[in-house]
């Protein structure tokens, strides 16, 4: 049976997107005699505007190790999908272009927002399969997302290098790790890099307890500390506030980020030389790790199997070391937070790592 398969990558880029695209394509060519693959440019923006092109088998060669995405990506927020822009009904446009491109299905590689839009399209009658991509590892229903382990590797190298300069200068180094809502990346990076303190959104911190942990190290002759901080952290006072109230409070205080505030407070309360390090987009750039290349290949092959079986309205996942799938309706709109009693949190605490709580 012939299949005409659309593929798009949406949201932020991360290592493993091209490896997943390659896995899908190679498996489809292996499984089916008559398959056509259509690359949709710049995520949902391309589907809205009808920007797409047919791809050849040679397009998928040499991209296993390539970072970014050969299809390009863009952020098209889910909350604006039902809103007209320049008199364009985005949902209607995507449905029309799906038909115009004569697609039998579309594969969407992305994070939480991408999966919500994928579910919306599925509810509108399109054949959709989602694949879980994000360095945040926060997609519900899957133990891991591709891109996460590469980001952990990069973050760990940052912490390793900061350790030597922190030790040499006897400084407190506060490293901001991407993670606006969840702390998986900061947690794993902190443990792998041997951080002394880990601060994540799921565990609001008390700055006095953070300072106490720093001073306790100094009292033991350890004149430096390394702190990994998820960018979306907030303290125990802010935890009682709504998001808008927190933003107003920080604006009044003149703080650009929570990380800068933490560093300033530590310096003011202890007198220790304190610096901020922001690796930023380094964490999601470059070639994927061997782990993510394998995972991306597995996810791509499984998605191709779903296409060949005609199983749609689902999202690929890994649970208990087995690749499987969930209903898009079950995944959309849910976030996988770090439970405060998670085994990794317990592991960190047993290693003497403080969470400021």
Task: Let me know if the fold of 3-146+288-331 is the same as that of 151-284.
Answer: yes
Q: Enumerate the domain spans of the chain.
A: 3-146+288-331, 151-284
Say which of 13, 33, 104, 136 is annotated catalytic. 136
Reported as a single tens digit per residue, the pLDDT across 313-357 is: 999 999 999 999 999 999 999 999 999 999 999 999 999 999 999
**pLDDT of 242 higher than 60:** yes
pLDDT above 90 as % of the chain = 87
Can you give the pLDDT at residue 271? 94
pLDDT above 70 as % of the chain = 99
Question: In the annotation, is 136 catalytic?
Answer: yes
> What is the CATH code of the structural domain delimited by 3-146+288-331?
3.40.50.450
Reported as a single tens digit per residue, the pLDDT across 258-316 is: 999 999 999 999 999 999 999 999 999 999 999 999 999 999 999 999 999 999 999 99
3-state secondary structure the chain: CCEEEEEEECCCCCCCHHHHHHHHHHHHHHHCCCEEEEEECCCHHHHHHCCEEEECHHHHCCCCCCCCCCCCCCCCCHHHCCCCECCECHHHHHHHHHHHCCCCEEEEEECHHHHHHHHHHHHCCCCEEEEEECCCCCECCCCCCECHHHHHHHHHHHHHHHHHHHHHHCCEEEEEECCCCCCHHHHHHHHHHCCCEEECCCCCECHHHHHHHHHHHHHCCCCCEEEEEECCCCECCHHHCCHHHHHHHHHHHCCCCHHHHHHHHHHHHHCCCEEEECCHHHHHCCCCCHHHHHHHHHHHHHHHHHHHHCCCCEEEEEECCEEEEEEHHHHCCCECCCCCCCHHHHHHHHCCCECCC
Name the band, by pLDDT with cuts 50, 70 and 90, for residue 2: low
Reported as a single tens digit per residue, the pLDDT across 66-122 is: 999 999 999 888 888 888 888 889 999 999 999 999 999 999 999 999 999 999 999
**pLDDT of 1 higher than 60:** no
> Model's pTM, two decimal places?
0.94
Can you give the pLDDT at residue 256? 74
Can you give the pLDDT at residue 248? 81
332 compared with 3, residue with greater pLDDT: 332
Name the band, by pLDDT with cuts 50, 70 and 90, for residue 223: confident
Name the band, by pLDDT with cuts 50, 70 and 90, for residue 252: confident
Can you give the pLDDT at residue 67? 93
186 compared with 241, residue with greater pLDDT: 186
CATH of 151-284, one of 3.30.9.100, 3.40.50.720, 3.40.50.460, 1.25.40.10: 3.40.50.460
């Amino acid at each position: 049976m012939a299949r005409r398969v659309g593929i798009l990558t949406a949201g932020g880029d991360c290592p493993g997107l091209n490896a997943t695209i390659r896995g899908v394509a190679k498996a489809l060519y292996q499984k089916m005699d008559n398959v056509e693959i259509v690359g949709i440019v710049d995520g949902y923006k391309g589907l809205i505007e009808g920007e797409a092109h047919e791809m050849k088998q040679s397009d998928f060669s040499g991209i296993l190790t390539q970072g970014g995405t050969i299809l390009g990506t863009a952020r098209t927020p889910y909350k604006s999908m039902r809103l007209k822009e320049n008199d364009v009904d985005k949902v209607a446009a995507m449905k029309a272009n799906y038909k115009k491109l004569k697609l039998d299905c579309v594969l969407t590689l992305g994070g939480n927002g991408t999966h919500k839009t994928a579910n919306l399209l599925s509810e509108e009658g399109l054949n959709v399969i989602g694949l879980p991509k994000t360095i945040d590892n926060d997609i519900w229903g899957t133990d891991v997302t591709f891109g996460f382990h590469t980001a952990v590797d990069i973050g760990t190298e940052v912490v390793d290098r900061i350790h030597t300069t922190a030790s040499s200068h006897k400084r407190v180094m506060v490293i901001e790790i991407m993670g606006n809502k969840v702390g998986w990346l900061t947690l794993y990076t902190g443990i792998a890099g041997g951080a002394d303190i880990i601060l994540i959104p799921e565990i609001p911190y008390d700055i006095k307890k953070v300072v106490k942990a720093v001073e306790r190290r100094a009292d033991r002759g350890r004149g430096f500390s390394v702190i990994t901080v998820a960018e979306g952290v907030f303290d125990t006072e802010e935890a009682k506030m709504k998001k808008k109230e927190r933003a107003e409070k920080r604006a009044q205080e003149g703080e650009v980020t929570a990380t800068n505030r933490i560093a300033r407070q530590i310096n003011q309360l202890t007198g220790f030389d304190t610096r901020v390090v922001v690796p930023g987009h380094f964490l999601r750039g470059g070639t994927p790790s061997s782990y993510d290349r394998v995972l991306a290949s597995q996810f791509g092959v499984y998605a191709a199997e779903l296409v060949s079986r005609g199983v749609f309205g689902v999202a690929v996942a890994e649970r208990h070391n087995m690749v499987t799938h969930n209903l898009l309706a079950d995944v959309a709109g849910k976030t996988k937070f770090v439970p405060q009693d998670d085994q990794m949190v317990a592991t960190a605490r047993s290693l003497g790592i403080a969470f400021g709580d």
